[in-house]
A and B are shown apart, each in its own frame.
Chain A
Amino acid sequence: MNDLSTIRSSDPHWIVHLETQDDAMLRKLTALGILPGNQIAIEQRFPSYIVTIGRTRAALDRETVQCIFVTREQRTDANSNSDSAMP
């Protein structure tokens, strides 16, 4: 499990965990579809991170990206939501 900012490839990764105590931020991220069990891919890193989650595209800063933890393989304990694959 690595935080998203350390991922070099642009392949989609599975979100495992969101490391934040900030409720407002958590709500915002979940509204964008950034929640455990979904897949996220990095499109660009500079000047801001651009990520895609399904059909949603979002720009995030480094601090936000660092609180998203992902794995390359889908974890069995993450969620049963295997049909939410990227288009």
Chain B
Amino acid sequence: MSIKIRYLAPIEAAITQIEIWWRSGWGQDFVDRHLSPRSFALLLLQKDPNLWEQLPGNRQQDLEQLIATTQAQISRPISLEIAQARQEFAQAIEQTTLAEPNPNQRHWGEKIHKLTVNPISGFPILVLVLYWGVYKFVGEFGAGELVDRIETFFEEQINPVVNHVTEQAIPWPSLQDLFAHEYGIITLGIRYATAIVLPVVATYFLMFSLLEDSGYLPRLSLMLDRLFKAIGLSGRAVIPIVLGLGCDTMATIVTRTLETKRERLIATFLLSLAIPCAAQWGVILGLLAQRPAALVTWAGLIVGIFLLAGFCIDKFLPGSAAQFYIELPPLRLPKIRNVITKTWVRMKWYFWEVLPLFIWASAIIWVGRLTGVFDWLISGIEPIALALGLPKETAPILLYGFFRRDYGAAGLFDLQQGGQLTGDQLLISAVVLTLFLPCIAQLQMIIKERGVKTAVLMVSFIFPFALAVGYVLNWGLNLFQISL
């Protein structure tokens, strides 16, 4: 059923004229012909940029003239008149059809709304939501507990079988390494995708869908808008940035929801520089847990760098500041069925999107090791590691950390278990790894979303910057003879 809204007479006349033009062949110019001539006319009268672009020059002229004569007959802008007519129409429908909800129910929703947006109660609620939702549920349960269990299962049950079968089936050890052993496609690539990424992503999407369906997300955005303005973003960017604490690759995709190119660029940059993903901060928290001073220094440094980098890029990047306007839907109890369906669909999409990237990473490691390129790179990184005050055993970790940031962190974990690192060294390597180049999956996503040029620029800043921070940190710790 379609309902026709009556607009002001001059607008209706213009619509009729465009409908005539449409029938005389204008319709052929457009890719999307599902629109009715009337909708098409209304969009053109409002100079819809997508349709306007597809219109040949002489027709644009005809249309300009029609718009000008129509505009001359009415006092307010055409698009405003159209919006007004629609608004009135919607209100008329509302009055005849809407039944007031149960006042008690509305009352509760209102009370909770007030609590979530009032600065006095709102900020503590925000901290609690992030603490329980992100830190406890995604970080400790998803990235900690679940990852451990699935990884152990893989290492004990699946990898030995894969290794054994590969050794039987393929006689050449170097080819065996492509599929099995330490860095194989199955033993590393698939294991990482299912044991590390899947639990993190599953818990993350579950939490995110709950926040989304309850209507809390836009409230989170409005609470943080002012803070985010200081770093060139708007409250909207809360969503990708918080998502980044789950997985930076996924968050880089989600920067699409930001309004301007400038915001997308700033968000992508901050995600790759200073937002550790769940897999990564999960391991780092584990590493530094026994050294609270090092943990606090790490967190302080990363937060400081996040804010400072955002502040600087906002100052120097041309373009106007981000604007913030968002609708606040009523708060509701999420429907479990919807939440589960959403989580499942997103997980499936994400898994198939990133699985190939993990397989590629394994294949690249295989080629790198086979050709000796990696040994050569590692021997190049060793002096850098030494300059940062780190043992040379951290060189391969820094290199492999590029393929998976969390893998780098996991490598550190092994070194720490062996008692090979001091508190200072743990702190320096945790800071460098957090700031370091994004994992290869994220790099591929930056190239896809922002283009090669931007990706190269970002990478060529982040790489030296991470090392410089590590160097200065080491120098400072030595200077003041601090040992954490």
- Residues of A whose CB lies within 8 Å of any CB of B are 22, 24-33, 35-38, 44, 46-48, 50, 54-61, 63-64, 79, 81, 83-84
Contacts and interface: CB of A to CB of B under 8 A. Distances in A.
29 contacts: A22-B323, A30-B79, A30-B83, A31-B83, A33-B87, A35-B83, A35-B84, A36-B84, A44-B117, A47-B224, A47-B225, A48-B222, A48-B223, A48-B235, A57-B330, A59-B117, A59-B218, A59-B221, A59-B222, A59-B225, A59-B235, A59-B324, A59-B328, A61-B225, A61-B234, A61-B324, A63-B321, A79-B84, A81-B84
Contacts of B234: 61
A61 B223 CA distance: 11
B80 A36 contact: yes
B218 A61 contact: no
A79 B135 CA distance: 51
A81 to B, nearest CB: 6
Interface string B228-254: 010000110000000000000000000
B76 interface: yes
Contact of B327 (A32, A46, A79): A32
Nearest to B330: A57
A26 B323 contact: no
Contact of B222 (A47, A54, A84): A47
B64 interface: no
B256 to A, nearest CB: 15
B91 A84 contact: yes
A50 B91 contact: no
A61 B79 contact: no
A22 B321 CA distance: 13
Interface of B: 76, 79-80, 83-84, 87-88, 91, 94, 117-119, 122, 218-219, 221-226, 229, 234-235, 259, 321, 323-328, 330
A54 B91 contact: yes
Contacts of B219: 59
Contacts of B76: 36
Across chains A and B, which 5 residue pairs bring their CB atoms closest together, nearest first?
Answer: A59-B222, A61-B324, A30-B83, A48-B222, A57-B328
B326 A58 contact: yes
A47 B122 CA distance: 10
Nearest to B123: A47
A48 B218 CA distance: 11
Given A59-B326, A61-B323, 19 more contacts: A25-B323, A27-B79, A28-B325, A31-B83, A35-B80, A35-B84, A36-B84, A44-B118, A46-B119, A48-B324, A58-B325, A58-B327, A59-B222, A59-B325, A60-B325, A61-B325, A81-B87, A83-B91, A84-B91
A50 B328 contact: yes
A31 B122 CA distance: 27
A55 B325 CA distance: 16
Contacts of B323: 22, 25, 61, 63-64
A39 B322 CA distance: 26
Task: Pick the most buried of B76, B80, B83: most chain A CB atoms within 10 A of its CB.
Answer: B83
B326 A38 contact: no
Nearest to A35: B83
B171 to A, nearest CB: 63
Contacts of A46: 119
Nearest to A28: B325
Given A50-B117, A59-B218, A61-B323, A38 B87 contact: yes
A60 B88 CA distance: 23
A64 B223 contact: no
A84 B226 CA distance: 32
A78 B88 CA distance: 14
